[in-house]
Structure 1
Amino acid sequence: MTKLPRTDRPRPRVRASVMLSALRATKNLASECGQCAPLDPVSLNIDPYEWVSLFDYLTYLEEAARVLDVTHLGLELGSRFDVGDLGPLGVLFISSETIFDGFLQLQLFLQAWQEDTEVALDTDTDLYSWSYRIRTPSLRHLRRQDALLTLSVVTTWLRLRLGRGWSPAEVHFEQTAPADLLPFQRFFRAPLYFSRPTNGVFVTREEGNRRVGDRVQPYLPFMRRHLRDLIEVPVRDRDIAEAVKAEVARRLGLQPVTQRAIAQALGLSVRTLQRRLSGEGVGLRSIVDEVRMSVLHEALDDGARAGALARRLGYSDAASSCRAVRRWTGQPPSALIKSCEGGGVAE
């Protein structure tokens, strides 16, 4: 059995506004059912912009589902979220001129509200898809209710734009199919697919391009600038290597991971980025390899095949991915995949 070196990554966080919205929605649902919600993990007076532990947030959702005995709790909570619960990000989505543009805003700026989260927008087929999942391998067992809540929120907000009777073309879930499908069928009113690599909402091309906003509001550029500023905060609050690592993890497999792209995303010049990384004794390549090693663990845990593994690791072809994996582990991806199928990769 192959042993792969583990890498330390920053503990991911989420804005307190999301936690507070989940607490309020859970309390309201519990009250309607004559039950008591779990204890609050944070003060209800916390600043909505404060960061809180993503682990604590996910744990609360899973514990609430257990205490209230509602296996589809995320669906119930998501339908109760208001646009303002995601601050300027929610307003950007609901104010976008088209559904495609709304999805694009979520892809570009979600990291300002929740860290270590993979978001992708695919427009290469007849269906537009917006997919979502938390990347942190150690949180894998806590992602179920959060995924349901997120898909519920996005679907609810789309119905605000497209009409209450609207339904997605398809909905995909990471989780296995539940014993009781009825709550899912009643809420989404769409074809449901389980045990997929990620969670996603699909809309038709016509719906994605349909103009649903009267005009682009003049305040939207200011909100985008505000969100960019929030994304840049880690560069000032944390060491540069940590900020670069978070940006690489966000881009890997989705956007270019070059010095110029990373520097621009962090609001630095290429020379300043190089100088600050050198001052901490690291380089961009070593950080990219570290993130790829972490993603490799997650992909193997998910049962990814060789082709999908290359994409997840941000390589354009399987040969490049194979060489890199062999350099890290001494074995090709095929051997690691076989090892996992035979009993998993050793910690």
Structure 2
Amino acid sequence: MGDSSEHSVTPLYSQAIVQAAQRQGLVLPAELLAQLRPGQRVPLATQDALWDAFCAASSDPLAGLQLGLEMQIGHLDSVGMLLVTCDTFGEALEELVEYAPVVGDGGEFVLHSEGDQAFIDYQPHLRIRSAERVEAVLASMLSLTRWATGGRFQPSGIWFAHAPLAAPGEYHSLLGCPVHFNAGCNHLGFATDQLALPQIQANSALRDHLRQLADHNLAALGQHSLTADVQRLVRQHPRWGKERVAAELDLSGRHLNRRLGEEGLSFKNLRESVLQQMACRALHSDQRVAEIAEALGFSDEGAFVRAFRRWQGVTPARYKAGDGSAP
């Protein structure tokens, strides 16, 4: 399988892209397809190139969204079967948060609730075709959840951090639920009572077997990834700087930056991305701006306001009062 520390994706997910291209009569570069070897995980850099070639060959700006809606359980490796054999939708989401790296290292999931609403966040760390890939992830989550619950799942909406790639009405037509853009986060929302929805393929004996397989696969991958560990520590300790986070990971600050740099990332950008997501979420609550600024480790409210305006294009007050889009 190569270096277990290399960020990679299950070949089954890459196969979904190739199959979609074949159905649509799209031609992908032969030299790129030659890099996809049966049974071997696909390096994230190759997956980046595959996504770029697929989107470039397609005339549909919503190619990623369409791919997500066509995704099958089998394309998610053993984790796909694990998710659908869970007793409830809520249990499946907990397993998704834990075992998503088996599917791929393109991002991670976080489950949280606000009042009577729950959200499953997708937090990507992608450099190529990020918007299309985020749309594929959330569309597949919506489609497969509807299937797994026998059509009983009713989302309250989908939120995207990016601007629409096509007319917003096209999204609603394809997804069948409210869709929001420029939201500062990427998540699927639903009423908290839907966490108890039973799944039609629930099978506790098979679920336990698949969980053991997922544990084995996760261990073989050397997960969690450094990026995921950094994001987790920043969420838990938003005041921590590079040196404190590095020390927690038994690294020097310089080594941490070098390791992240190999993935095209930097600690500063990674930390700001997490803080942005946390800020947007907090602004949907009853917390005051000054309280949020302090919790996130800013020196004062003014510093937070300046940073937030740089991230979102609006002040925290305008974001809290409106839809989060730039003026």
Specify if TM > 0.5: yes
Instruction: Give the one of 33, 37, 56 matched to 1:46.
Output: 37
Work out the CA distance in 2 between the residues paired with 1:97 and 1:15: 25
The alpha-carbon deviation at position 81 of structure 1 amounts to 1.7
Instruction: Give the superposition deviation at 1:252.
Output: 3.1
- Tell whether the 8 Å contact from 2:231 to 2:271 is kept in structure 1 after alignment: no
State the Cα distance separating 1:71 from its structure 2 match.
Answer: 0.3
Say what the alpha-carbon RMSD is for the aligned residues: 4.0
TM-score (norm: length of structure 2): 0.71
- Secondary structure of 1:160's aligned partner: helix
- The size of the alignment, in residue pairs, is 284
Once residues 305 and 208 of structure 1 are traced to their aligned partners in structure 2, the CA distance between those partners, rounded to angstroms, is: 23
Contact 1:169–1:203 under 8 Å retained in 2 = yes
Alignment of 1:92-107 (within 5 A): 92-107=82-97
- How far off its partner does 1:213 sit? 4.2
Partner of 2:98: 108
Pick 1 or 2: higher relative contact order, CA cutoff 8 A, min separation 6: 1
Please tell me whether residue 133 in structure 1 is matched to residue 131 in structure 2: no
Task: Give the superposition deviation at 1:179.
Answer: 4.0
- Out of 269, 273, 281, the position equivalent to 1:297 is 269
Could you report, residue by residue, the CA deviation over 1:258-280 in whole angstroms, capped at 9, with x for unpaired residues? xxxxxxxxxxxxxxxxxxxxxxx
> Percent identity at matched positions?
12
2:69 is aligned to: 79
Per the normalisation by structure 1, the TM-score is: 0.68
Q: Please give the alpha-carbon distance, in whole angstroms, between the structure 2 residues aligned to 1:74 and 1:126.
A: 30
Written as runs of structure 1 = structure 2, the 5 A alignment for 1:195-274 is: 195-213=182-200, 215-235=202-222, 245-246=226-227, 248-249=229-230, 251-253=232-234
Indicate how the Cα distance of structure 1 residues 320 and 11 shifts in structure 2: closer, same or farther if over 3 A, else same: farther
Indicate if the aligned counterparts of 1:13 and 1:51 stay in contact, CA closer than 8 A.
yes
In structure 1, C-alpha distance between the alignment counterparts of 2:231 and 2:308, rounded to whole Å: 28
TM-fit CA distance, 1:181: 2.2
**CA deviation after TM superposition for structure 1 residue 120, in Å:** 0.5
**Structural mapping, 1:1-347, within 5 Å:** 12-28=7-23, 30-31=24-25, 36-39=26-29, 41-43=32-34, 46-48=37-39, 50-115=40-105, 117-136=107-126, 139=127, 141-164=128-151, 167-213=154-200, 215-235=202-222, 245-246=226-227, 248-249=229-230, 251-253=232-234, 283-285=247-249, 287=251, 290=256, 294-298=266-270, 300=272, 304=276, 307=279, 322=297, 334=304, 337=307
Q: Supply the distance in 1 between the matched residues of 2:56 and 2:278 (Cα, whole angstroms).
A: 37
Deviations 1:131-157 (A, max 9, x none): 113225xx1x52111111111211111
The Cα of 1:68 is off from its aligned counterpart by 1.7
The AA in structure 1 aligned to 2:71 is F
Deviations 1:290-337 (A, max 9, x none): 479935314547993995699xxxxx98558648x9xxxxxx965983
Extract unaligned runs of 5+ from structure 2.
239-245, 283-290, 312-327
Q: One-letter code of the match for 1:56?
A: T
Question: Cα distance, 1:11 vs. partner?
Answer: 5.6
Q: Is the 8 A contact 1:300 1:340 kept in 2?
A: no
Tell me which residue corresponds to 2:318.
Answer: none
